[in-house]
Amino acid sequence: VQLQAFGGGLVQAGGSLRLSCLASGNIQSINVMGWDRQAPGKQRELVATIRPRGITAYADSVKGRFTISRDYAKNTVSLLMNSLEPEDTAVYYCTAEVNVVGQPGVYDAFGRGTQVTVSS
């Protein structure tokens, strides 16, 4: 299972970016998809998740500014980030809890990460 993220970059404070992630491989189904981030010198933190039936959850720091969405048929997840702040600068990682064809249990997949830099 591979997760490939797109859409990072440099943006001014107050601007917007959209991140997208595609899951591929021997996927039977995907439970949760989401995004984590890690800023320099800080621990990795959960940003947002989306479960089956579209149930979402967000870190308090991004509520009202970020929106996570998912295309269940295409195994993609997106993160629309509005009103970006310098504190949002981090490497963003796509995550997925995957049921792999022919294997029991679930597999926690992580993408390589994409850099988001917000200038003040």
Q: What is the pLDDT of residues 12-68, one digit of tens each?
A: 999 999 999 999 999 999 999 999 999 999 999 999 999 999 999 999 999 999 999
**Averaged pLDDT, 90-110:** 95
Q: Is 79 exposed, middle or buried (0-12, 13-18, 19+ CB in 10 A)?
A: buried
> Per DSSP, what are the bridge partners of residue 17?
81
Q: What is the pLDDT of residues 64-87, one digit of tens each?
A: 999 999 999 999 999 999 999 999
Which amino acid, 109?
A
**pLDDT attached to residue 57:** 98
**pLDDT attached to residue 46:** 98
**pLDDT attached to residue 14:** 98
**pLDDT attached to residue 115:** 97
The SS3 of residue 39 is coil
